[in-house]
Amino acid sequence: MNQDFSIFTLVTQASFVVQLVMAGLLLASLASWTVIFGKLFGLRRVRGENDEFEREFWAGRNLNELYADASKRSVDGRGAPMERIFASGMREFLKLREKRVLDAGALLDGARRAMRASFQREIDAVESNLSFLASVGSVSPYVGLFGTVWGIMHAFVGLSNMQQVTLATVAPGIAEALVATAIGLFAAIPAVIAYNRFARDIDRIAIQLETFIEEFSNILQRNVGAPGPAPAAATVSSGFAHSR
């Protein structure tokens, strides 16, 4: 009458299909935890780098020097997303002025388009693997439910050959099947919580970057409207005012 209902025993005694479902869910859970920890530290690093560059940007440094440093770090594969957006806008602005484009609207539109393109690339990079968490969170319960249904069906097929069916004979098969649902929830719940948390953090990063684009565009607009010779790249920083 005393039967072993430990998780290990239930898993080992389950049917092959249910065991396959459990193994897939455990692998999905392991992969999602890997993504969760990677994204947790990655977003923390992105926020720190953006804040550091923003402090440096508004500290009053010459923008040509900032651009030179940002370009060097971009070549080395380093730098904050905000720094790369700044570098792309500044690069396009300087190229257009070197080509003696004097129309203020063309200068600002070119720089803004370059920054928006860089912004989209940075957001795509930050959002990498986020869809995987969404998939694990939405699909895992259904996969676990499939394993449960299959396990219960297999248990009742086996019980059909018995002359007398009692609770003691039904319980092991049903318990084995329900383990699949439990593992599915174990994989889904952390993935859903992490996805919602990371989506909110990425929205905040996106707002911070979009705000910087608007502020830097205003600085460029003031510089374009500044009197004096425009073509020389060395004069670009003369009209910038680091003030909010």
Identify the top-confidence range among 75-89, 115-129, 175-189.
115-129
Are 122 and 85 spatial neighbours (Cβ–Cβ below 8 Å)? yes
How many domains in the chain?
1
Residue 101: which domain range? Answer: 13-239
Residue 6 lies in a domain: no
Residue 94 lies in a domain: yes
Say which residues have a Cβ less than 8 Å from residue 75's Cβ, sequence separation at least 6. Answer: none
Residue 3 lies in a domain: no
Residue 1 lies in a domain: no
Residue of higher predicted confidence among 122 and 173: 122
User: What token pair was written down for 136?
Assistant: 């694990």
Q: How confident is the model at residue 201 (pLDDT cuts 50, 70, 90)?
A: very high
Residue 143 lies in a domain: yes
Q: How far apart are CA 221 and CA 116, in angstroms?
A: 16
Residue 244 lies in a domain: no
Report the range of poorest mean pLDDT among 22-26, 34-38, 59-63, 224-228. Answer: 224-228
Residue of higher predicted confidence among 135 and 236: 135
Residue 55 lies in a domain: yes
Average pLDDT, rounded, for the chain:
81
Report the range of poorest mean pLDDT among 1-10, 75-84, 213-222. Answer: 1-10
For residue 240, pLDDT over 50 is answered with: no
Are 82 and 119 spatial neighbours (Cβ–Cβ below 8 Å)? no
Of 240, 211, 203, the C-alpha closest to 61 is 240
For residue 145, pLDDT over 80 is answered with: yes
Average pLDDT rounded to a whole number, residues 24-41? 94
For residue 218, pLDDT over 80 is answered with: yes
Q: Which helix (H) or strand (E) holds 98?
A: helix 81-98
Of 213, 207, 199, 34, the C-alpha closest to 126 is 199
Query: Dihedrals φ, ψ of 108, to 5°?
Result: -70, -40
